[in-house]
Amino acid sequence: MIANIFDFEYRKSVSNICAQVRKAVIRDFVPNYLGAKRLSRDQWLEENIGMVMKLFDFNDDQLAIIADGTYCYSQKSSNKMIQRKLFSGHKKRPLVKPFVITTSNGKIIDIYGNHAATDNE
């Protein structure tokens, strides 16, 4: 379908371009815009909310973080093995479960996963 939209003769061309884009994103985007190392310690400390600092009696040099395992619904896969791993018996639909770490004001520090619906915490 993508090959038809961009008028590529071969599907392999689309696959090669997607692989190049994926490598470029991992090489250039991820280290600069994702993960805990993208900001210095002082910059992360600026993300603290005063209410949280007072509530938990934190010092100015302590960072309040929130770690949450959540879920995101996904489309049903045509691959039976993937379909079985993504199906949640609890929610009765396919989903993935990322583990998200944020600052107290909601700024995302990092995301670990995606974990299959059948993987327990």
Decide if pLDDT at 13 tops 80: no
Tokens of 96: 């993935």
pLDDT the model gives residue 2: 67
Alpha-carbon span 48 to 3, nearest angstrom: 47
| Residue 10 forms part of a structural domain | yes
Q: How confident is the model at residue 78 (pLDDT cuts 50, 70, 90)?
A: confident
| Residue 4 forms part of a structural domain | yes
Determine contact, residues 67/99, Cβ cutoff 8 Å.
Answer: yes
| Residue 3 forms part of a structural domain | yes
Per-residue pLDDT of 84-108, as tens digits, reads 888 888 888 888 888 899 999 988 8
| Residue 26 forms part of a structural domain | yes
| Residue 72 forms part of a structural domain | no
Phi, psi (rounded to 5 degrees) for 120 = -90, 155
Per-residue pLDDT of 18-57, as tens digits, reads 899 999 998 998 888 888 888 888 999 998 888 999 999 9
Q: Is the dihedral of CA 82, 84, 89, 94 positive or negative?
A: positive
Decide if pLDDT at 7 tops 80: no
Q: How many domains does the chain have?
A: 1
Domain that holds residue 29: 1-33
pLDDT the model gives residue 92: 85
